[in-house]
Amino acid sequence: MAEILFTNVRILDGSGQMPWAGAVLVQGNRIKQVGRTPASVSAFGATVIDAAGATLMPGLVEAHTHFSWNDAATLQEIQRMPVEEHVLWCAKVARRYLEAGWTSCVGAACAKPRLDVVIRDAIDKGQIPGPRYLAASQEITVPGGLGDETLPHVPYPEFSFGVLVNGADDMRRVVRMFLKYGVDSIKLNLSGDNFTPHAPANTTWMTDAEVAAAMEEVRLRGKRCAVHARSAASVKQALRHGVEIIYHASFTDEEALDMLEEHRDRVFVAPGMAILIAMLEAAEPWGISRARAVEMGYQIELEAAVESLRAMHKRGVRVLPGGDYGFAFTPHCDNARDLEFFVKYLGFTPMEAICSATQYGGQIMMKGNELGQIREGFLADLLLVDGDPLANLSILRDPKRLLAVMKDGRFVKAPAIAAARTMGRAA
């Protein structure tokens, strides 16, 4: 079995302890040995990577990924893309995430029924490069809710990235269809969103009977449910029904926070802060001025979200990075900005931000005992970073600072060798 020894590395192991200078031996797809000093590991016959003091850390985990969002400024644009182009788009985006250091991604919803499943399968088969991936369903919503993009006179479902349901039986039918396709999780849109003014963030759309039907099917089949829940009522609805993954959670009240704290060992919150900030600060080139964004409710929501998420963080609720990259103002692969936002807005330490992307990441991938940390026996998803992310998180967004990306023991991006040569000889 091939062995790779990273020597002379600063190990940031994702456990929360401060980095140290050491060595890490990878054998096959696992971390075989973690040394406390640079010279503590020897491996005859291994490929040796002398990192000259670079940081070695676990691969990042994106908790809320939409490969099929296509970096456009509107939701309609997503469905203007035909299915063939859409699959190739997703394949390309999957590769870019991996090359950017996201070695795992939790699919949060896809725009057409099978996009996520097909991409996950192609990655697992080795047909295309991409992160470890959990495949999502489309967003299940109700007529008029977030995800319904049909016009009254053009009522065709192909226009919507969501699937519309009415009532518990209809919900059951749709959930079963996605389970048939092989999804890892079902996505429900419990609240509205300020991006769709007819269904704003503080509104709640689904009946308890509908949510209960979905959860029953999900449990029967051993799958997971994730929800779009911006309103306080939707957050509480999710917790009442035992939903594990809550996206956004912008608005909360004491009851919601108490419930979140009570279930903190089970629940993950991935707020997707970037879109709230981008709408206020970066959407002008696409016709959404700051004044317009404020009018849409983004200022109020950002303030509420910051307060809610700070409170969750204090109460020990797991808050994870990622979410709603894939729009013109939040393009794919800028995702590491979330770590900076966690520090700037939510009072995380840089170490906490790193752990949310690695240690918590392993947990949300349902592999907490073998993914997300540099530990003996863990899967070898590793990044080699030129610099100290604890001193400057933004280096994680700089491709040049990402010297190497390894997934499952194999280099996606191998470290460059120092000597470049212009003379090649055909062997």
Choose which of 17, 37, 42, 47 interacts with other proteins (CB under 8 A): 47
Span near other proteins by CB under 8 A; candidates 59-67, 159-167, 241-249, 412-420:
412-420
84 binds other proteins (CB under 8 A): yes
Smallest gap, in angstroms, from Cβ of residue 248 to other proteins? 29
Minimum CB distance to other proteins smaller for 82 or for 167: 82
Cβ 38 vs Cβ 417: under 8 Å: no
* Strand partners for 411: 406
Please tell me the count of residues contacting other proteins according to CB under 8 A.
Answer: 38
Q: Which helix (H) or strand (E) holds 232?
A: helix 232-240
CB atoms within 10 A of CB 66: 30
The site map against other proteins for 100-119 (x = CB under 8 A) is: --------------xx--x-
Q: Tell whether residue 403 is a contact of other proteins (CB under 8 A).
A: yes
Output DSSP code: residue 383: E
CB 235 within 8 A of CB 246: yes
Please state, in angstroms and rounded to a whole number, the distance separating the CA atoms of residues 223 and 395: 36
Among 48, 164, 300, 390, binds other proteins (CB under 8 A): 48
- Which residues 108-167 are close enough to bind other proteins by CB under 8 A? 114-115, 118, 121-122, 127-128
Q: Does 88 bind other proteins (CB under 8 A)?
A: yes
From the CB of 112, what's the least distance to other proteins, in Å? 8
Contact assessment for residue 132 and residue 105, using Cβ atoms and an 8 Å cutoff = yes
Q: How far apart are CA 374 and CA 31, in angstroms?
A: 7
Region of 150-158, 189-197, 336-344, 417-425 interacting with other proteins (CB under 8 A): 417-425
Q: Is 427 in the site for other proteins (CB under 8 A)?
A: yes
Q: Which of residues 309-348 bind other proteins (CB under 8 A)?
A: none
Of 260, 186, 254, 253, the C-alpha closest to 216 is 186
Query: Rounded to the nearest whole angstrom, what is the least distance from the CB of residue 113 to other proteins in the complex?
Result: 9
Between helices 254-262 and 298-314, what is the axis angle to 10°? Answer: 40
From 141-149, 231-239, 311-319, 415-423, span contacting other proteins (CB under 8 A):
415-423
Q: Residue 103 corresponds to which tokens in the numbers above?
A: 């070695």
User: Do 70 and 91 form a contact (C-beta atoms < 8 A)?
Assistant: no
Applying CB under 8 A, which part among 67-75, 78-86, 131-139, 324-332 lies near other proteins? 78-86
Q: Is the dihedral of CA 96, 98, 101, 102 positive or negative?
A: positive
Q: Which residues pair with 47 in a beta bridge?
A: 4
Strands 185-189 and 245-248: unpaired
User: What is the x/- site pattern for other proteins, positions 6-45, by CB under 8 A?
Assistant: ----------------------------------------
Buried b (16+ CB within 10 A) or exposed e, 73-86: eebeebbebeeeeb
Instruction: Decide if residue 92 touches other proteins (CB under 8 A).
Output: yes
Residues 52-71 that bind other proteins (CB under 8 A): 52, 54
Q: Which residues bind other proteins (CB under 8 A)?
A: 47-52, 54, 82-85, 87-88, 91-92, 114-115, 118, 121-122, 127-128, 384, 386, 403-404, 414-418, 421-427
